[in-house]
Amino acid sequence: MADEKEKESAELAVADLQRKVREAFEVFDHELNNTVDVREIGTIIRSLGCCPNEGELHDLIAEVEEEEPTGYIRFEKFLPVMTNILVEKRYRPIPEEILLQAFEVLDPTKRGFLSKEELIKYMTEEGEPFSQEEMEEMLSAAIGPESNFIHYRDYITMMVIDEN
C-alpha cells in the first residue's frame, strides 16, 4: 500500500512539473503552435529555477532541436527533456553563501561593496569574461544608481532563487 501511495505521489509531482514547463513554454509560444524561438529556451529554463551555464544550455538546445535546425523548438521534444532535468534537480543555482564568498574574495578589505569600475574589471578580465550585453544587464541590476557601487549582500539576496 505504501508503494502505491509513493508511486501516486511521484506521478502527481511529475504532472505538476510538466504543468509548470507547459506554462513557461506557452509564455513564449507567440504563434500558439507549440513552438518557441530557440533563443527563448534559456529564458524558459531559467524561469523554471534552473541555472545552466552557456555550454550546458548549448548542449540542451542541441538535444531538443530538430535534426535540421529550424530556429524553433517544439514543445513535444522540450517537455520530456525539461521534465527530466527538473526531476533530477540539475542546473541548481549556486547557494547564497558561495556567492557571498566569491564577492568577498574580490573585496579583500571587507568593505561590503565593489565599485562599478572594479566590477567591470573583474567581469571582463578574469575567468570567462562577460559579453558587453551581459555586463550591461548585470550593471543595471547590481549598481546603485546614486552610489555607483554594488553592495553585494543586497545583490545576492535579489539574485538568489527561493527553492520553496
Containing domain of residue 69, as a range? Answer: 1-88
**Within a domain: 77:** yes
Position 53 scores a pLDDT of 86
Q: What is the pLDDT of residues 86-142, one digit of tens each?
A: 999 999 888 888 989 989 999 989 999 999 999 888 888 887 788 888 888 888 888
Which residues, 6+ apart, have CB-to-CB distance to 119 below 8 Å?
138, 139, 142, 143, 150
Quick check: pTM over 0.85?
no
**Total structural domains within the chain:** 2
Which of 31, 60, 88 is the C-terminal boundary of a domain?
88
Domain with 7 in it: what CATH number?
A: 1.10.238.10
32 and 75: one domain?
yes
110 and 76: one domain?
no
60 and 108: one domain?
no
109 and 56: one domain?
no
| Residues 113/149, Cβ–Cβ less than 8 Å | yes
Q: Measure the CA–CA gap between 27 and 147, rounded to whole angstroms.
A: 36
Q: Measure the CA–CA gap between 1 and 7, rounded to whole angstroms.
A: 10
5 and 37: one domain?
yes
